[in-house]
Chain A
Amino acid sequence: MKRLVWCVLALLAGCSTVRGSGDLGVVIERASGSVQVVEHSGETRLGRVEGLGDLSHASVVFSRDGRYAFVFGRDGGLSKVDLLERKLVRRVLQAGNSIGGAISSDGRIVAAQNYQPGGVRLFDTDTLSPLADIPARDEQGTPSKVVGLADLPGNRFAFSLFDAGEIWLVDASQPQAPKVKKFQNIGRQPYDALGSYNGRYYIAGLYGEDGLALLDTWAPESGVRRILAGYGRGEQKLPVYKMPHLRGWALAGNRAFLPAIGRHEVLVADGTNWQEVGRVKVHGQPVFAMAEPSGRRVWVNFAFPHNDTVQVIDVPTLTVAATLKPGRGILHMEFTPKGDAVWLSSRDDNKVVVVDTATLTVRRELAAVSPSGIFFSWRGSRMGM
C-alpha cells in the first residue's frame, strides 16, 4: 500500500519508475518531425518527442547505455533524445543536408555524414559540441556527397564519396585531429555502405556499375577490391525508384545477402571469399535485406511500386518462404534483440505492424504518423549499427 502511494506520487510528480533501456526504441514520424518512443517487451508506445525538424530519411544511433538516441535529420539537424525521460536534450543544426551517422567504438564521438556541404563532422556525444570537420573533396577539389558512414573498432570510421567514387578510412583516436586514409577509384557512384558485425569489412554498393567495393580493414594496405562484379550480366537495368540501404544488412551464417541494383534479386555471397554463391528472385527492387538475429531467414522490403510487400527468404534453401502484405508503404523493418518479432513501418497506413516471426502473423498494430525508420536500442551495443 505504502509502495502504491509512492508510485502514484512519483507518477504525479512526472517521474517514471526506474526501468532499464534494453527494450526501448524510436519510431521516426517523418512528416511531423517527431519520434515516438516505444518499448518492445509490452509492445507499447511510451510517448512522443517533437521538434526534430525534417526527418525524411532520418536515421538513428544509440549511446552504449541505450538511453540516448542521436537522430540525424535531412535538414542537417542532429538531435539527442533521452528515451527514459522522453525529451529532447540537445539539438544542433550541423549542416545543410544530412543523411545519417555513426557512433565511435568508445561511445564518445558521434559522426554525421552530410550531402551538403559534403563531408563528415565529429561531435562530442555528451555536449554535441563540434570536434572536427572532414570535408569530402576529390583530388580536383570538387565536393562530394557522403554516404555509407560506418563505425569501426578503434574509434575509426569509414565512409564513401558518391560523386568521387572513393572510400575514406578515418582514424579518430584523436577526435580533434582525425587522420584520413583515402582509397580512390573504388567504383562508380557508391550509394550506401555497411560495416560488418565484427567491424572487419566495409562494403559499399555501387550505383554506377554492377558490383560492390570491399575494404578489409584488417589489411587496408591491400586496398579496395571489387566483389560480385558484373552481376547484371550486361542486361538492361530495371528502374530503381528508391536506393537500397545496406546498413542493417544480412550476414546469415557464412553468407551475405545484398540487394541488387536494377534487378529484382537479392545477391548471395560467401562471407569469407566474397564469391557469388547464388541469388534469390524477389518481388521488386529490394531496399533492405535484413537477417533475423538467428540468421535463419532474411527479410526483404521493396522500392516503389512494390512497397506494400515484404518477403522472407529461407537461408538454407535460398528460396522465398513467405510473401506478406502487412501494409502500404513499408519503409523499414527492425527485429527485437533475439528476433521473436519484427516491427514494420507502414508509411501510407500510418501504422507500425508487429509481426511474430514464428507464426508470421500480426501480433499488434500501433498508430504512428507517416512512420519511416524504426530503431531499437540494442543497436547501441553493436558495431556497424
Chain B
Amino acid sequence: MKRVLEVLRLLMETAVLVGASLMFVSEAFGEELSAIRQAELRYLVRQDCGACHGLTLQGGLGSPLTAAALAGKDDDGLVATILQGRPGSAMPPWQAYINGAEAQWIVDWLRAGGQP
C-alpha cells in the first residue's frame, strides 16, 4: 500500500495542476481525502478491484461497477460490501486497507463514472 502511495506521490509531484483540481473534486464530495489518497484509491480500484471487476469496471468475475450498474442501489449497502465483502461470493473485505470515508468516496466516484 505504502509503495503504491510512493509511486503516486511521484506522479503527483509532476502534476501539481492536476493535484489542485483534485482538491476541488474532493471538496465536491465533501470528504477530507487528500489528493494523493484519492489518486491512490483511483489506481487501486481500477487495477486491483479491476482484477475481478475489469480494468474499465465493466464487470468480470465480479459484477460491473459502472454508474448504470450501481444506480438504484443504496450507498450504505455498497459501502458495507466494500468494507466487509460478501460472504459466499468472491467479493473480499477491504476494511484492512480502506476506511469508511474512503469506501464512501469510492462509491461516489464510481457513481460519477469512475474515470482514471
Inter-subunit contact B47/A97 (CB<8 Å): no
Q: Please tell me if A99 contacts chain B, counting CB pairs below 8 Å.
A: yes
Q: Is A172 on the interface with B (CB-CB < 8 A)?
A: no
Q: How far is the CA of A207 from the CA of B92 in the complex (A)?
A: 12
Binds B, one of A4-12, A38-46, A149-157, A238-246: A238-246
Q: How far is the CA of A55 from the CA of B97 in the complex (A)?
A: 26
Residues of chain A lying within 8 A (CB to CB) of residue B47: 329, 347-348
Query: Do residues B92 and A240 form an inter-chain contact, with CB atoms below 8 A?
Result: yes
Q: Chain B binding site: helix, strand, loop or mixed by DSSP?
A: loop
Partner pick for B55 among A30, A116, A305, CB 8 A cutoff? A30
A189, B89: Cα distance in complex, Å: 9
**A57 near B51 (CB under 8 angstroms)?**
yes
- A to B CB contacts below 8 Å, 22 in the list: A54-B55, A56-B50, A56-B51, A57-B54, A57-B55, A74-B58, A75-B56, A97-B59, A115-B59, A115-B61, A147-B61, A191-B90, A207-B90, A239-B85, A240-B92, A242-B52, A243-B51, A243-B90, A305-B1, A328-B4, A348-B7, A349-B7
Contact residues in A for B60 (Cβ distance below 8 Å): 57, 74, 97, 99, 115
CB neighbours of B7 from chain A (8 A): 328, 348-349
As a 0/1 sequence over residues 153 to 172 of chain A, the CB contacts with chain B under 8 angstroms (1 = contact) are 00000000010000000000
CB of B76 within 8 A of chain A? no
Scan B86-98; emit 1 where CB is below 8 A from any A CB, else 0. 0010101100010
Do residues B54 and A239 form an inter-chain contact, with CB atoms below 8 A? no
Query: Which residues of B does A touch, CB under 8 Å?
Result: 1, 3-4, 7, 47-48, 50-52, 54-56, 58-61, 85, 88, 90, 92-93, 97
Mask: chain A, 189-225; 1 = CB below 8 Å from B; 0 = not: 1010000000000000001100000000000000000
List residues of chain B with CB within 8 A of the CB of A57. Answer: 51, 54-55, 60
A31 touches B55 (CB 8 A): yes
Chain B residues, CB < 8 A from A30? 55
Query: Separation in Å of the B48 CB from the closest CB of chain A?
Result: 5
The reply on A264 being an interface residue by CB < 8 A is no
- CA A145 to CA B88, docked complex, whole Å: 17
Q: Beyond A207-B90, A240-B90, A243-B90, is A308–B56 a contact (Cβ under 8 Å)?
A: no
Instruction: Please state if A74 and B61 are interface contacts (CB–CB under 8 Å).
Output: no
Complex Cα–Cα for A241 and B51 (A): 8
Complex Cα distance, B40 from A348, in Å, reads: 12
A147 partner residues in chain B, CB cutoff 8 A: 61
- Residues of A whose CB lies within 8 Å of any CB of B are 30-31, 54-57, 74-75, 97, 99, 115-116, 145, 147, 162, 189, 191, 207-208, 239-243, 304-305, 308, 328-329, 347-349
Known A-B contacts A99-B60, A347-B47; A56 and B4 likewise in contact (beta carbons under 8 Å): no
Q: Point out the residues of chain B lying under 8 angstroms from A115, CB to CB.
A: 59-61
Chain A contact surface mostly: loop
Is B54 touching A54 in the complex (CB atoms < 8 A)? yes
| B59 partner residues in chain A, CB cutoff 8 A | 97, 115-116
Residues of B within 8 A of A99 (CB): 60
CB distance from A221 to the nearest CB of B (A): 32
**Inter-chain contact B3/A308, CB cutoff 8 Å:** yes
- State the CA gap A339–B47 with chains docked (Å): 30
Decide yes or no: A56 and B93 within 8 Å by CB, A304-B48, A348-B3 being known contacts: no
Q: In the assembly, what is the distance between CA of A75 and CA of B56, in Å?
A: 9
**Closest B residue, CB atoms, query A76:** B58
Q: How distant is the Cα of A99 from the Cα of B51 in the complex, in angstroms?
A: 11
Q: A97, B4: Cβ atoms under 8 Å?
A: no
Q: With the chains together, A240 CA to B4 CA distance in Å? A: 19
Beta-carbon contact of A97 and B54 below 8 Å: yes
* CB nearest to B51 among chain A residues: A242
What's the least CB distance linking A61 to chain B, in Å? 19
A237 to chain B, nearest CB (A): 10
CB closest chain-A residue, reference B4: A348
Structural contact, A145 and B55, CB atoms closer than 8 A: no
CB distance from A53 to the nearest CB of B (A): 10
Which A residues are in CB contact (< 8 Å) with B97? 305
Q: How far is the CA of A348 from the CA of B48 in the complex (A)?
A: 11
- Which of B4, B50, B51 has most A Cβ within 10 Å? B51
